[in-house]
Amino acid sequence: MPRNRRPQDREEKREEILAAAQRLFIDNGYESASMGQIAKNAGVTVNTIYWYFRDKDDLLIAVLDRLLAEALAQYATIADRPLNDRLLWAVDQLERLHGLVNTVHTRAPASPAVHAWHTGFHELADTLIADDLRKAGAAEADLPAMTAIGTFVIEGLLTHRRGDAGKRAVIDILVHKLTTVPTRT
């Protein structure tokens, strides 16, 4: 059933496999989504996947890049909203991917490629958050620790889901505590 080898089709086929993998990774989780299952959903055999991707981790990274690019594109449209709203938006957007957050943390020690992606992601996230905190007047020396707190809370909200009110409460308090100058009682 092979069709041709035009460069255009190469990308199309890759995209089909990627789309199937993304759906299964998100819906069933990385571990539960077997290569056979992904192949069947993409209308190919298992071996074909290995023609386009080195291994399952490589497939994971391609899916992550896809999702990150999509999220960043949408983020640009709300970049001027207050920090509160943007953080809540990020959590809402990434919430359906909460399983992948754990997957990245689990695969990173075993897969250098996943580890590299994870490092790059945190550098990006830290830059964005630090920028905000700096504008809010945070002390420069405290920035690394404060951005870490921001990142950890967002990751926590992703991996430990709670209702809309709960999310809003956590983020509001976080932003309030981080962007106001405290005085001892």
Distance of CA 10 to the CA centre of its chain: 26
Among 20, 22, 25, 57, indicate the residue that binds DNA (CB under 7 A). 57
Residue span binding DNA (CB under 7 A) among the ranges 50-58, 144-152, 155-163, 177-185: 50-58
Q: Which one, 132 or 155, has the nearer CB to a second copy?
A: 155
Interface with DNA includes 28 (CB under 7 A)? no
Q: Mask of contacts with DNA, 8-27, x by CB under 7 A?
A: -xx--x--------------
* Alpha-helical segments (H) within 29-142: 35-42, 46-52, 56-75, 83-95, 98-107, 112-135
Interface with DNA includes 56 (CB under 7 A)? yes
Interface with DNA includes 46 (CB under 7 A)? yes
Cα-Cα-Cα-Cα dihedral sign, residues 26, 22, 87, 118? positive
Measured distance CA(111)–CA(113) in Å, rounded: 5
Smallest gap from Cβ 14 to DNA, in A, equals 9
Smallest gap from Cβ 85 to a second copy, in A, equals 17
Please compute, for residue 55, the number of CA atoms within 13 A of its CA located in the half-sphere on the CB side.
Answer: 6
